[in-house]
Structure 1
Amino acid sequence: MVVVKAMKITTCFVLLCLVEITTQDPVPVVIWHGMGDSCCNPISMGSIKSLIEKQVQGIYVKSLEIGNNIAEDMENGFLMNVNDQITMACKLISNDSKLQNGYNSVGFSQGGQFLRAVAQRCPTPRMFNLVSVGGQHQGVYGFPKCPGDNSTLCNIVRKLLNYGAYVSFVQDHLVQAEYWQDPLNLDEYRNKSVFLADVNQERTKNPVYKENLLKLKNLVLVKFLQDTMVDPKESEWFGFYVPGQAKKLLSVFETPLYQQDWLGLKKLNETGRLHFLSSDSDHLRFTDDWFISNVINKFFK
């Protein structure tokens, strides 16, 4: 009889454990929009948030709002120093009680490299998976289009970039200048870039950046094969122009950033945690089915 009772207790204990496991809340998701967008636009980030919530029952999705309202959030995507934006994003994440046990993240366009900076600079709470959808991780060298409804801001960006991307005032106040990489003037870029050259370890190597990025379970890079927004589109996979000209391109595997493993990309790749995805479409022009199949089902469930 004693043996039978012990078996019953053990069985109940196992069942209780199974109930706890199956009822565990899904890992929350943090999303960050791109240039010309905002946290809560119903046809962009609002739609993505709803799509994730529909596909993963009970999931918490936080869309980062950089500013006190939607208008500020959109404007700050053009005119707020990126380092200040990263600091604000880290505070929003660390102060959210629903994110304290860790989270997955997905960044769209410039939001991709911004969330990568969050992973490098703010390891607590932990980011598990980072999905960069069209992020410009090696920067851009061109401004062919400007999304969003504010043509005035787009014109300001063009004028300031033409004035001089590495002029201190422009670097400190124009977001797009802070990830502008001029392959014809690399020394100036590396010396004066206030954001991209730092997070890409192109000046002083910060071992913490690499250590923190290697804490990711997966780094997912999405490139748009017909991209007319990002120049060069290879930047979405960490590729860029051969130094000294602006025609021939290097893949990520040919760059010193990868070969010397400044960020940990080589280690991530060798351990099966670096993923290269593509969409045969223009910038951010993916379908719900593509996003569900390639992102939600693989990395958020």
Structure 2
Amino acid sequence: MMDTRALLVAAALLGVVVRASPTGGSNGSLPLVLWHGMGDSCCNPLSMGAIKKMVEEEIPGIYVLSLKIGKTVIEDTENGFFMDVNQQVSVVCEQLTQDPQFRGGYNAMGFSQGGQFLRAVAQRCPSPPMKNLISVGGQHQGVFGLPRCPGENSAICDFIRKKLTSGAYTDLVQKHLVQAQYWHDPLNEELYRTHSLFLADINQERAVNESYKKNLQALNKFVLVKFLQDTVVDPVDSEWFGFFKAGQAVETETLQESDLYREDRLGLAVMDKAGKLVFLTSDGDHLQFNRAWFTAKLLPYLR
């Protein structure tokens, strides 16, 4: 089983992204972009490095880019906590634009917070075109709780919990703490809509940006994976665009019951009716799955 809690011990030990050959995609497959989750890095041989290797073994000749935000793996890990998400998305968009491997389009797979970050790439950066987006445990309606913070340094996790509790929507915390940018407080919806720098924007909470809808609807498939025994994401329904009902933090509603769907601010209702939304489950804790499940459930969207 792939358990990120155990894997993160090695997250800062490697140095560079190992890419496929510059002439990757020799089998006709689209390139693949991977974005890791909180506390992880681009190149950990036991997590993202293992995923990259697995895909390359299953689809020989595929070009795989595991995103590294920063010059080193340590910077990449730290930026997953402290670098403005909007800036990270801009960096990735520029990187994909400049890489000739992606000119014909690409598939994308995000793990945990990397799932909503890659959705922002799809909505904001239509060129080069993203074809399929796979969100593995992504929190698309945000989180309201941090039950277990992955990472080697418990002091970082304690710091994050303290800041989120004391003032997630202050300008300082919003600009300098990644998790605050997708902190969604159902008890203070107006505060969230007004001050969330990232999630409220990509979820069209303040205004509808028609280009966001158009770009997201251009996807062939948007695959959402929910972990049925997840003890990290609160609420876990966020992995399928569900969330707590407004004004309380006990009962949840599905995507289809939400205003986001009924008003179709992102075009998800249209995508759902067109068969473009795919809802998958994995019977494990957060980001825990085996190769057989990955091969059977996710690889078909990469071939």
**TM-score, L = length of structure 2:** 0.91
Query: Equivalent residue for 2:177?
Result: 174
Distance 1:277 1:252 in 2: 14
1:224–1:280: 8 Å Cα contact kept in structure 2? yes
2:27–2:62: 8 Å Cα contact kept in structure 1? no
2:145–2:233: 8 Å Cα contact kept in structure 1? yes
Query: Equivalent residue for 1:187?
Result: 190
1:158-198 Cα distance to aligned partner (Å, 9 max, x none): 12112210111001110000000000000000000000000
Bigger CA drift: 93-102 or 35-44? 93-102
Query: Equivalent residue for 2:132?
Result: 129
Query: Equivalent residue for 1:248?
Result: 251
Distance 2:157 2:291 in 1: 28
Q: Which amino acid aligns with 1:130?
A: L
Matched residue SS, 1:72:
helix
Matched residue SS, 1:278:
strand
Indicate yes or no: 2:259 matched with 1:259.
no
2:279 to 257, 266, 276: 276
Query: Equivalent residue for 2:206?
Result: 203
Bigger CA drift: 102-111 or 257-266? 257-266
Indicate yes or no: 2:83 matched with 1:80.
yes
Matched residue SS, 2:42:
coil
Query: Equivalent residue for 2:31?
Result: 28
Distance 1:241 1:203 in 2: 19
1:36–1:150: 8 Å Cα contact kept in structure 2? no
Bigger CA drift: 88-97 or 192-201? 88-97
2:27–2:61: 8 Å Cα contact kept in structure 1? no
RMSD: 1.1
User: Structure 1: which 5+ residue stretches go unaligned?
Assistant: 1-22
2:187–2:247: 8 Å Cα contact kept in structure 1? yes
Query: Equivalent residue for 2:50?
Result: 47
Query: Equivalent residue for 1:287?
Result: 290
**TM-score, L = length of structure 1:** 0.91
Distance 1:243 1:159 in 2: 24
> What is the CA-CA distance between 1:24 and the residue it aligns to?
5.1
Q: Which amino acid aligns with 2:196?
A: S
Give % identity: 56
Query: Equivalent residue for 1:152?
Result: 155
1:179–1:195: 8 Å Cα contact kept in structure 2? yes
Query: Equivalent residue for 1:10?
Result: none
Matched residue SS, 1:59:
coil
Distance 1:288 1:150 in 2: 28
1:192-240 Cα distance to aligned partner (Å, 9 max, x none): 0000000000001100000000110000000000000000000000000
> What is the CA-CA distance between 1:150 and the residue it aligns to?
2.4
Distance 1:103 1:54 in 2: 18
Runs of 4+ in 1 over 6 A off after TM superposition: none
Q: Which amino acid aligns with 1:272?
A: G
2:110–2:117: 8 Å Cα contact kept in structure 1? yes
Matched residue SS, 1:220:
strand
Distance 1:206 1:58 in 2: 38
By percentage of residues, which structure has more helix? 1
Bigger CA drift: 247-256 or 157-166? 157-166
Distance 2:175 2:231 in 1: 27
Distance 2:236 2:258 in 1: 15
> What is the CA-CA distance between 1:121 and the residue it aligns to?
0.2
2:256–2:262: 8 Å Cα contact kept in structure 1? yes
